[in-house]
Amino acid sequence: MTSPRTRRLAVLASGRGSNFRALADAAARGTLGGTIAVLACDRGDAGAIELSRERGIPVELPDPGPSPRRLDAAAAPAWIERLRAHDVDTLLLAGFMRILPPTILDAFPGRVLNIHPSLLPAFPGLDAIARAFAHGVRQAGCTVHLVTAGIDDGPILGQAAVAVEDGDSVASLAERVHAAEHRLYPEVVRRFLGEPFAVVGRRVVWAAGERA
Amino acid sequence: MTSPRTRRLAVLASGRGSNFRALADAAARGTLGGTIAVLACDRGDAGAIELSRERGIPVELPDPGPSPRRLDAAAAPAWIERLRAHDVDTLLLAGFMRILPPTILDAFPGRVLNIHPSLLPAFPGLDAIARAFAHGVRQAGCTVHLVTAGIDDGPILGQAAVAVEDGDSVASLAERVHAAEHRLYPEVVRRFLGEPFAVVGRRVVWAAGERA
């Protein structure tokens, strides 16, 4: 068993890696409650890869299979093997654009987290910020949740609200939502790694709150 | 034409009238941008009625018809007549528990507002706070919106987020959501009465924001 202070984490990313950067910064400061032991990407042109190399974090690029939006079930064993080779017990999705097959969720039960750029359950799925903006919401935000078989539907670990301002565009709103993500995700990971909780129905009930 | 400063408003309520109280307090302070000319209720035991009498605001109790959840279409002409007798041009729903028929919306086109205790589009309909709590959200809130034929589906005029705290119960969360409603509703009414806006798609775009 590793202690909470030395938990080994994998980050899965497909894109520019701004959430990966926020997580890696927190780990470097010692405020994440764990170590990022590996970055796994589904595409070789992910910006996160360059960031990872700059920071000396190993990168894995297993074949994700033919579907552009899913990690293929046939590809899952290789992903699990490559992740386990780094002795990680927790997966942090950070702009990972493929739906995970059940075998990967089963390999890290209850220990796969995702961040989504809306106040779930509103605006699950793709283009959440643009859809919230077009809907005319005045409070946007982001959500860190446990990953389950449903899309953006797992128990909510943390949320941050971001007010829509008069004169906002999708781009200006997105900038503030992403900044909120970069604050929220490391905070919630630290809490997830350090504080017991129970899932009651679909509520996450933290031990500290119940003692209060 | 009345000037914005003397807009005459009707409040429609079914319950204890805490939002009615917040609106009446703002009107009395001169910060609502209008005068509450009448309270209309669908039930004679609404707590709002006593409040209204204390403040010298006329009360109307037109027959709402037989359905417990709708204002009957056959009853609508009497409601419209009784409201118009008070020379109001804007209706503020404040815990009014019946769906309005199209004839009432058509009689006050684009000038019927409602407050709902969730961050719409999440949790429309009844028991919104309890449903949000059971869903495990960490950001609850409230929404003021224009009323359209859809349930809690009209363009959003304003929203306030309310963080769910560790150890919250539905009751403790509801108390803070209601407090947020009592701040939000008068602010949004003032803005609605005083500042031009356009509905673009389903976004409310305020003139001040576009000039910014």
Residue B135 in any domain: the answer is yes
Confidence of residue A212 (pLDDT cuts 50, 70, 90): very low
Residue A1 in any domain: the answer is no
Residue B212 in any domain: the answer is no
Q: Are B137 and A122 inside 8 Å of each other by CB?
A: no
Domains of chain B: total: 1
- Give the B window 136-175 contacts with A, CB below 8 Å: 136-139, 141, 143, 155-161, 163, 165-168
Q: Are B139 and A160 inside 8 Å of each other by CB?
A: yes
Closest CA to B196 of B183, B185, B186, B210: B210
Residue A2 in any domain: the answer is no
A97 Rama class: left (phi>0) / alpha (psi -120 to 50) / beta: alpha
Chain A's closest residue to B159, CA to CA, is A138
Q: How far apart are the first and last CA of chain A?
A: 29
Residue A168 in any domain: the answer is yes
Has residue A161 got a pLDDT over 60?
Answer: yes
The pLDDT score that the predictor gives to residue B210 is: 55
- In Å, what is the CA distance from A6 to each residue of A90, B154, B194? 12, 50, 57
Confidence of residue B2 (pLDDT cuts 50, 70, 90): very low
- H or E element at residue B13: strand B7-13
Q: Where are the beta strands (DSSP E) in chain A?
A: 7-13, 34-41, 59-60, 90-93, 112-116, 139-146, 156-163, 197-200, 203-206
> A87-118, pLDDT tens digit by residue?
999 999 999 999 999 999 999 999 999 999 99
Q: How far apart are CA B129 and CA B114, in angstroms?
A: 16
**Which residues in chain B have Cβ-Cβ distances shorter than 8 Å to A159?**
137-139
Confidence of residue A182 (pLDDT cuts 50, 70, 90): very high
Q: Are B136 and A165 inside 8 Å of each other by CB?
A: no
Has residue B37 got a pLDDT over 70?
Answer: yes
On whether any CB of chain B is under 8 Å from the CB of A207, the answer is no
Give the residues across from A93 on adjacent strands.
Answer: A12, A114
B19-46 burial, b at 16+ Cβ within 10 Å, e below that, comes to bbbbbbebbeeeebbbbbbbbbbbeeeb
| Mean confidence (pLDDT) of chain B | 94
Has residue B175 got a pLDDT over 50?
Answer: yes
The pLDDT score that the predictor gives to residue B133 is: 98
Contact A146, A155 (CB under 8 A): yes
Q: What is the largest CA-CA distance in chain A?
A: 52
Has residue A186 got a pLDDT over 90?
Answer: yes
* Residue A133 φ then ψ, to 5°: -60, -45
| Mean confidence (pLDDT) of chain A | 94
Q: Are B161 and A155 inside 8 Å of each other by CB?
A: no
The pLDDT score that the predictor gives to residue A210 is: 55
Q: Where are the beta strands (DSSP E) in A5-129?
A: 7-13, 34-41, 59-60, 90-93, 112-116
Whether residue A135 lies in the annotated active site: no
The pLDDT score that the predictor gives to residue B143 is: 98
Residue A91 in any domain: the answer is yes
On whether any CB of chain B is under 8 Å from the CB of A20, the answer is no
Among the partner residues B119, B166, B210, nearest to A122 by beta-carbon distance: B119
Q: Are A134 and B210 inside 8 Å of each other by CB?
A: no
**Which residues in chain A have Cβ-Cβ distances shorter than 8 Å to B154?**
none
The pLDDT score that the predictor gives to residue B4 is: 47
Report ipTM for this prediction.
0.93
The pLDDT score that the predictor gives to residue B212 is: 43
Residue percentage of chain A with pLDDT more than 70: 96
Count each helix (H run) and each strand (E run) in chain A, helices first.
Answer: 7, 9
The pLDDT score that the predictor gives to residue A8 is: 97
The pLDDT score that the predictor gives to residue A209 is: 61
Q: How far apart are CA A119 and CA A176, in angstroms?
A: 14
Closest CA to A57 of A29, A37, A43, A86: A37
Mean pLDDT along residues A142-155: 94
The domain that holds A65 is classified in CATH as 3.40.50.170
Mean pLDDT along residues A69-98: 96
Contact A112, A152 (CB under 8 A): no
- Give the A window 51-90 contacts with B, CB below 8 Å: none
- In Å, what is the CA distance from B9 to each residue of B23, B75, B80, B184, B191? 10, 21, 13, 17, 14
Which position among A86, A116, A135, A145 bears the catalytic label?
A116
**Which residues in chain A have Cβ-Cβ distances shorter than 8 Å to B125?**
none
Closest CA to B161 of B117, B95, B205: B117
A168-206 burial, b at 16+ Cβ within 10 Å, e below that, comes to beeeebbebbbebbbebbbbbbbbbbeeebeeeeebbbb
Residue A212 in any domain: the answer is no
Query: What six digits make up the tokens of B51?
Result: 């409040």
Residue B2 in any domain: the answer is no
Q: Are B137 and A121 inside 8 Å of each other by CB?
A: yes
Give the residue ranges of DSSP H helices in chain B.
Answer: 18-29, 47-54, 76-84, 102-107, 128-135, 170-194, 207-211
On whether any CB of chain A is under 8 Å from the CB of B203, the answer is yes
Q: How far apart are CA B142 and CA B126, in angstroms?
A: 13
Mean pLDDT along residues B64-80: 94
Confidence of residue A38 (pLDDT cuts 50, 70, 90): very high
Cis bond before residue A66 (omega within 30° of 0) = no
What SS3 class is residue B140?
A: strand
Mean pLDDT along residues B75-104: 96
What SS3 class is residue A58?
A: coil
B183-197 burial, b at 16+ Cβ within 10 Å, e below that, comes to ebbbbbbbbbbeeeb
Mutate to test the interface with A, among B129, B166, B170 (most CBs of A within 10 A): B166
- In Å, what is the CA distance from B59 to each residue of A2, B40, B46, B170? 68, 6, 11, 32
Give residue A104's domain range.
Answer: 8-206
